[in-house]
């Protein structure tokens, strides 16, 4: 069984507009609600692949219920601990002028108490009895500290269960202490970790090798429009971007988490997971909703993904 853990569950609202003007009413041309939060995104995408998963974490209020129903619709089994406040809404604003791109506005609406964390920890330990791979990551709501990731990753690694982890600092460093098998940083997350700007594939390789040597963790790095770089213990691959018409790239990175989890679950070589992950990332870029993709697009794009030995 694949287990995802999302502390900060999120409902994403993507709004498309022709341009931006301050102190004016802007009429959106379109909007779409979809899944947000990295591990729940991965569960959602796995559902589209036809692979069920157990989604653990915290949720609250009507937004939390909407997240649960979106997950159920894809065959995911959500079992969130109910907390105070509200599952947050993230708004992705896409300006359709062909040059501005997209901006994300996040909020933090949930309140987690120590007894909630204890309840999740108990449910998680029970789930680990049947887990083949765990996907963890994302920001943390109020009431939680980065050592949550040190603890939860350690619990899985102690039982030799593979862990895929995706977070920005300071959570990234906290999680790395427990040596997850894979991390999936993007350019900003990797830059935050090394303390200098990662621009090129060469910069990413240098930073990724440091992580591999220090933590025994394989970085599968996504570099937006310039593709990706997978660093494994004895080999590395550059993954060129696919030629696609990008509608919204939000959640594309989370598709890589889903691809990796799928290949570990099916006991396939990790190269299969990288290929599936980058195909699904491109498929997410074709859709307006966060982490939304179509199985037929993933299957069509899969054969186009190249893994080129690097350096
Ligand atoms: N403009 C683009 N053109 C082609 N491919 C893209 C583009 N943007 C993203 N991709 C593909 O999707 C992958 C993941 O994208 P990105 O690096 O933006 O992830 P991310 O920042 O983690 O995204 P998120 O956190 O929103 O899921 C890239 O490595 C690339 O393969
Ligand atoms: Mg990401």
Over the stretch 222-256, which tens digit does the pLDDT of each residue have?
A: 999 999 999 999 999 999 999 999 988 999 999 99
Q: 38-49 and 295-302 helices cross at what angle (nearest 10)? A: 80
Average pLDDT over residues 102-115: 92
The confidence band for 87, taking pLDDT boundaries of 50, 70 and 90, is very high
User: Among 241, 230, 217, which residue's Cα sits nearest to residue 136?
Assistant: 217
pLDDT of residue 82: 98
- How many angstroms is it from 110 CA to the middle of ligand 2? 21
Whole-angstrom distance, CA of residue 217 vs CA of residue 164: 9
Q: What confidence category does residue 128 fall into, taking pLDDT thresholds of 50, 70 and 90?
A: very high
Residue 279 in contact with ligand 1 by CB distance below 6 A: no
Instruction: For residue 294, name the pLDDT band (cuts at 50, 70, 90).
Output: very high
Write down the pLDDT at residue 245. 92
CA of 186 to the centre of ligand 2 (A): 6
Q: Is the pLDDT of residue 105 over 90?
A: yes
* Beta-strand pair 182-183/88-95: unpaired
Establish how many alpha carbons lie within 13 A of residue 246's alpha carbon, considering only the half-sphere containing its beta carbon: 21
- For residue 180, the model assigns a pLDDT of 98
CA torsion sign for 255, 260, 264, 266 is: positive
Q: Give the 3-state secondary structure of residue 155.
A: helix
Under 8 Å between Cβ of 174 and 201: no
| 166 ligand 1 Cβ < 6 A | no
Query: Is the separation of the CB atoms in 71 and 44 below 8 Å?
Result: yes
C-alpha of residue 78 to centroid of ligand 1, in Å: 26
Q: Is 34 in the pocket of ligand 1 (CB under 6 A)?
A: no
Q: Whose CA is nearest to atom 22 of ligand 1?
A: 253
Name the pTM for this structure: 0.96
Ligand 1 pocket, residue 258 CB under 6 Å: no
**Statement: residue 303 has pLDDT above 90:** yes
What are the pLDDT digits (tens) for 36-78? 999 999 999 999 999 999 999 999 999 999 999 999 999 999 9
Strand order in the sheet with 30-36: 30-36, 10-17, 88-95, 101-105
* Residue 100: band (very low, low, confident or very high) from pLDDT cuts 50, 70, 90: confident
Calpha distance 110→125 (Å, rounded) = 23
| pLDDT of res. 102 | 83
Index of the ligand 1 atom closest to the CA of residue 223: 17
* Atom 23, ligand 1: residue with shortest CA distance: 253
Contact 45, 277 (CB under 8 A): no
**44 close to 35: Cβ distance less than 8 angstroms:** yes
Q: What residues sit around ligand 2, an ion, with C-beta below 5 angstroms?
A: 186, 253
**In angstroms, what is the span from residue 303 Cα to ligand 2's centroid?**
23
Percent of the chain at pLDDT exceeding 90: 93
- Per DSSP, the three-state class of 195 is coil
Q: State the distance from the centre of ligand 1 to the C-alpha of 253, rounded, in angstroms.
A: 5
Q: E strands, 74-187, where?
A: 77-82, 84-85, 88-95, 101-105, 110-111, 133-137, 163-166, 182-183
């Amino acid at each position: 069984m694949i287990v995802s853990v999302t502390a900060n569950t999120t409902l994403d609202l993507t709004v498309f507009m022709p341009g931006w003007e301050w102190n004016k009413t802007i009429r959106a041309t379109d909007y779409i609600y979809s899944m947000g939060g990295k591990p729940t995104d991965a569960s959602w995408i796995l559902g589209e692949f036809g692979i069920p998963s157990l989604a653990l974490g915290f949720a609250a209020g009507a937004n939390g219920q909407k997240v649960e129903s979106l997950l159920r619709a894809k065959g995911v089994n959500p079992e969130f601990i109910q907390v105070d406040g509200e599952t947050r809404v993230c708004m992705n604003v896409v300006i359709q002028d062909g040059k501005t791109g997209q901006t994300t506005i996040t909020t933090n609406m949930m309140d987690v108490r120590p007894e909630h964390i204890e309840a999740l920890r108990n449910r998680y330990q029970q789930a680990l009895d049947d887990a083949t791979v765990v996907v963890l990551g994302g920001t943390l709501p109020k009431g939680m500290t980065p050592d949550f990731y040190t603890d939860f990753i350690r619990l899985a690694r102690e039982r030799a269960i593979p862990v895929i982890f995706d977070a920005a600092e300071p959570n990234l460093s906290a999680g790395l202490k427990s040596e997850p098998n894979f991390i999936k940083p993007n350019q900003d997350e990797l830059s935050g970790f090394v303390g200098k700007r990662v621009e090129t594939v060469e910069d990413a390789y240098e930073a990724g090798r440091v992580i591999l040597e220090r933590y025994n963790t394989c970085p599968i790095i996504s570099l937006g429009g310039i593709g990706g770089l997978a660093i494994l213990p004895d080999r590395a691959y550059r993954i060129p971007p696919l030629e696609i018409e990008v509608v919204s790239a939000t959640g594309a990175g989370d598709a890589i988490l889903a691809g990796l989890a799928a290949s570990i679950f099916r006991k396939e070589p990790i190269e299969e997971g990288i290929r599936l992950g980058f195909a699904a990332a491109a498929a997410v870029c074709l859709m307006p909703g966060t982490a939304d993709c179509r199985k037929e697009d993933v299957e069509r794009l899969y054969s186009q993904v190249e893994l080129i030995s690097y350096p």
